[in-house]
Chain A
């Protein structure tokens, strides 16, 4: 595997379900990000992790719970979501702490909440 991978690629869940999105980066980076892309809206940053520590929470509702067990893996745990949470969720990684910090994105998980 190369680059940034995300699983699953598609997910349909009910509002009472609990599911998790997984992201893995194979680039030796130490910063990882979750973004949300909704129709007709710009990509929105959700969370930032640097060296496994959360350094940014962009006012995200608590029904989204991120987890970063190591610099290569990032999870987004989902519970009691709403239909308006349906979107493309993108993971990215980069080198932390540098002004040159190109972000590399995964293919995304298309989430549909029924």
Chain B
């Protein structure tokens, strides 16, 4: 059974800091991995999707990497801003039925 872990559960950093959010998964047989952002009480916004054959994806200040063999992904946020404060969720797709298994998320607070 696939399990996704995100540690720590919460993180607080000063504005302008570069930071890395970690995600680990137990079964390396994945189709892809997706990073989401969730604001309090809201739905999920897709940030980046990495296919199993890819090593990384970039969008603006965000860069996500994938090391499938070791069961790890990182989300790198450059020059963090208070508007980046949210919960960041990692999810892996482990089947053709598009079944996503989620981690519990990391709640990020960027202090002005």
Interface residues of A (CB under 8 A from B): 4, 6, 31, 33, 40-45, 48, 50, 55-56, 88, 90, 92, 94, 96-97, 99-108, 110
Q: Which of B14-22, B59-67, B76-84, B90-98 lines the interface with chain A?
A: B90-98
CB distance from B99 to the nearest CB of A (A): 6
Q: Is the interface of A mostly helix, strand, loop or mixed?
A: strand
Interface flags for B47-76 (1: CB within 8 Å of A; 0: not) read 001011000000000000000000000000
Identity of the chain B residue whose Cβ is nearest the Cβ of A40 in the assembled complex: B104
Query: Considering the chains assembled together, what is the distance between the CA atoms of A108 and B93 in angstroms?
Result: 21
**Interchain residue pairs A-B with the least CB separation, the first 6:** A105-B44, A107-B43, A43-B102, A42-B102, A105-B43, A108-B43
Whether B104 pairs with A42 at a CB distance below 8 angstroms is yes
The answer on a CB contact under 8 Å between B31 and A102 is: no
Residues of B within 8 A of A (CB): 4, 31-32, 34, 36, 41-46, 49, 51-52, 89, 91, 93, 96-105
Known: A41-B104, A42-B104, A43-B89. A103 touches B98 (CB 8 A): yes
Count of A-B contacts judged by CB separation below 8 Å: 67
Residues from chain B with Cβ under 8 Å of A45 in the complex: 99-101
Contact (Cβ within 8 A) A103 B51: no
A97 touches B96 (CB 8 A): yes
Residue from A42, A100, A106 in contact with B43 in the complex, judged by beta carbons closer than 8 Å: A106
Knowing A48-B98, A99-B96, A104-B46 are in contact, say whether A42-B41 is a contact too (CB < 8 A). Answer: no
Q: Do the beta carbons of B32 and A99 come within 8 Å of each other?
A: yes
Q: Is the CB of A90 within 8 A of B44?
A: yes
- Nearest-CB distance from A50 to chain B (Å)? 7
- B41: shortest Cβ distance to chain A, in Å? 7
**Contact yes or no, A105 B46, CB < 8 A:** yes
How far is A91 from B44 in the complex, measured between Cα atoms in Å? 10
